[in-house]
Structures are given as C-alpha cells and as structure tokens.
Amino acid sequence: MNNVDSPLIFELSREGQKGYSLPKCDVPELAMEKMIGSANLRAQDAALPEVSENEIVRHYIRLSTMNHHIDKAIYPLGSCTMKYNPKVNEKISAFPGWTELHPFQPARTAQGALHLMHDLARMLAEIAGMEEVTLQPTSGAQGEFTGIQLAKAHFKHIGEKRVNVLLPDSAHGTNPASVAMSGYKPVQIKSSDQGILDPAVLEKTLDESYALVMLTNPNTLGLFEREIKRVCEIAHGKGALVYMDGANLNALMGIARPGDMGFDILHINLHKTFSTPHGGGGPGGGAVGVKKLLAPYLPLPVVCKDEKQYYFDYDRPLSIGRLHTFYGNFGMMVRAYTYILMHGATGLREVSEAAIINANYLKEKLRKRYKLAYDYVCQHEFVLSGDIQKKLGVKTSDIAKRLLDFGVHAPTTYFPLIVSEALMIEPTETESKRSLDEFVRIMLQIADEAETNPDIVKNAPQNTPVARLDEALAARELNVSYQG
C-alpha cells in the first residue's frame, strides 16, 4: 500500500479526553497571573490535543513502526557505522547516580562522574595512541572544528601564519566546511588511481602555507592509507600538523593506532565506534585526542586527578576556551565507557576484525553483479558503483529506494563523489552471516530486476508507508500535514 491510515494526533483529539489524572491539590492554589504576571499569560489556551492514554501510546507506537532503525533491521550506512546499540549501555546510563547529577554540583559531590570521564579519556587515548583527550565536543563535526581550532591556537602561539589545509578529494563533506569555518582555506588534492593519497603528489603540493593535512584512515573508499607514515613525514617536514577524521575508527581498534601512524590530532565519534545511539540529529560525542604538543590548548575545563580527588582544571591560559555548555553529552560518555569495559582490549580488536571480515564478505558476494570501484581488500566498508545498472536505465537512487521495499535501509549513495553512482556499504561487526546473506540475496534480486523488470525498481518503494516522493519538490515546498 502507498499510504498508511495514520491521522495526526490533533485529528485524534476529542474535547474532554485525558490521558492523566492528578491528585487533589494539597497546597494553597494561586492564580497564574499572580505567579508570572498577566502580561505573560496567553490570550487563549494552547491548542493541545486531548486524547486518552491508550490512544497516545498507540499513535506513537504506530509511527515508530513506520520508521527504520537499527533495532529493526540492517542499516548499512557507509562511514556512519550504524552498529547495534547494546541494551546494557542503556541500562547503565539510566542509573539514578548518573541521571540525577546536576552540572552545577561541586566536584567533590560528583567524584563518580569525574572518575568515569577521566578514565574514559585515558582509555580513548590508549586506543588512539594519543596523549590527551577532551570529551567536550558533542558531534564529529564539532570534533573536527575543535581539532582545527587547536592547530590554529598552536600556530598562533608559535607565531606562524598558515592559511591552507590540504584534503583529499574523497574527504567527508564536513571536513572542508570545518576548515572554512575555522578561517582556513580548504585545498583539495586528487587521490591516486589506487584510491589513496600519493606521497609524491603531496610533496609537490605542500609548502609552509599549510597548517594541516586532513585525512580519514581508512579513507571513505574503505581503503587503508598504505603510505600514511610517509604522508605524515612529508607534512611534518613542512611544519604542518596531520589531522585524522575518526569516522572510520571502527576498523582500527586493537589493530593500529592513529597516533603511532604519525597523526597529531584525531576526533573520535563515540556514537559510531563505541555504539552510543545516533541519527536524527543526535545526541553524539566527538571526543578529540591530541599529542602532547597540543595539550595546552585543550578546551576548558580538563578533568584531572591528584592524590585526593578528581577535579576540573581551569588553569589553562592557552586553552581555546569552552565549546559546549558544561562538559559535553555525559550520557554518551557513560554508554561508551560501558561498551569499552564490556569488550576489553581483546574484544575491541575482535570488533574491528569482524567488521573487516563482514565488509569483505559482502564485497566478494556482490562484485560480479555490481561494479567494484576499487578492487582491493577493504577495511570495514567498501564502495560499489551502479554504472552497470545505470546503462539499463536504473540509477543508484532507484536501487536504494528498492531496498526499502525489503525492509532494508539503503547504504550511503553518491558518496564518495569520486565514484560514479556510488553505493557505500558498511555492514558493521554486529550483523550475523544470516543477515549478510539476506542482504546479498536482496541486492542480487535488485540486479536481476534491473535487467528483466526495471520499472519495478524505478518506481520503488511500493511497500513502505509512503511511496516515492518528489524529492526536489519536497525540498522546496515542505508540507508535513496529513493528506488523508
């Protein structure tokens, strides 16, 4: 069916219905105008829906079943690491000792929380091969911005004016945006025909005007930057720092550490690598790790420890200042801390190994029916091209929408931009072989349909609550009202 009979909550409203009951008031009642002043009162009551408890529960449960989420089925978004979120994380983060903390509490009354933050920062530093970590950034993009600001503060402190940041043509879109917001000029460098950065090209391009070389490793093609040590040597030889976008850290845990490769700065997506929920705008966590050179510039405050207690250190005269109200998204820290402790060092390595195995398994199963953009062993993700299907009149966007008919969320499409009709697939380590085989079966069926019945793909989805929409019109003329 093309539509679901799901009226708006306002259409369910009936005057006089209630979903609550309140006890008799046992304190003196005051008129609202005496409490807040008549100037602050509404001219008329807010038009809130009036529904019973079972109606409101059914309404939102019905809506939730229309949405796709990681608890429902595979979510193979490349570079987003939409892994399953263990429920133990949610249980621990809901402990009253965490949820009832107030950010204005004195540090001496919140030692447990400070202990967790301090230990989590040390754990992340060990995993990443960095020396200091701030937990304050609340997203990957804010982590990028933070890292670039740290580099900027460093060059200002040592009296060097650098204006450029070098990025590969496969960079995440937030990378050049964060660079520009920081006042630097993003300069793009072309990847080699092997899908990685060529040190020879880098050496010709780089000079003393560059503050940073900004890379993702493994990169957005799912390939490990095999020349990374040489890349870092060249950058450091020109006095530049090297930044790693940590979106793909899920492939490296316990196997390789960015700090050991030569990176000076790294942001870590807690909501990707360490399984805290993300999507729908947040919340997230974009912790930033740095080498000792950049530690003086970390955001305020820094969680420290002395012989007696954990405390907030505000005595950092070179700090870039605050990035966020209070200390970051604390609930995300609790979840990541739980995830790391549950796995331990051996378990984290197994996570990355399983993610790599799963991605290569899918790649080998699908390569005969879809064009493989770069024919190398991949890390945790890989990129197919829909060029074969496009010649039959079926675009990558059609394939993505057809997947929805089978209850599978689409992979990332049309990114990286250097791959024509890109399908960027990341199964993560949390998918079973049965789940992967079902995804393969569906992808092969769609490849068959593109050859024998392309219209069914071009008109997908058919089995979702809403059929194919006019995306261009929807972007220009937003209309979220119920049409009946």
Local confidence band at 281 (pLDDT 50, 70, 90 cut-offs): low
Q: Which of 32-36, 255-259, 305-309, 340-344 has the lowest mean pLDDT?
A: 32-36
Q: Is the dihedral of CA 125, 319, 110, 275 positive or negative?
A: negative
Q: What is the pLDDT of residues 358-380, one digit of tens each?
A: 999 999 999 999 999 999 999 99
pLDDT at 478: 76
Topology of the domain comprising 346-476: Aspartate Aminotransferase, domain 1 (3.90.1150)
Local confidence band at 1 (pLDDT 50, 70, 90 cut-offs): very low
Instruction: Give dist(CA 460, CA 467) in Å, integer.
Output: 7
Q: Which of 37-41, 157-161, 266-270, 475-479 has the lowest mean pLDDT?
A: 475-479
pLDDT at 484: 39
Instruction: Give dist(CA 114, CA 126) in Å, integer.
Output: 18
- Mean pLDDT in residue range 209-232: 97
Q: Is the dihedral of CA 222, 411, 67, 430 positive or negative?
A: negative
pLDDT at 423: 98
pLDDT at 2: 39
386: Cβ contacts below 8 Å, ≥ 6 apart:
370, 371, 394, 395, 396, 399, 421, 422, 423
**Do the beta carbons of residue 149 and residue 136 sit within 8 Å?**
no
- Mean pLDDT in residue range 54-76: 89
pLDDT at 477: 84
Local confidence band at 481 (pLDDT 50, 70, 90 cut-offs): low
Topology of the domain comprising 88-342: Aspartate Aminotransferase; domain 2 (3.40.640)
pLDDT at 474: 79
CA of 270: how far to CAs of 30, 129, 201, 224, in Å? 47, 16, 33, 21
8-state DSSP, 214: E
Domain boundaries, the chain: 9-66, 88-342, 346-476
- pLDDT over 50 at 460, yes or no: yes
pLDDT at 471: 80
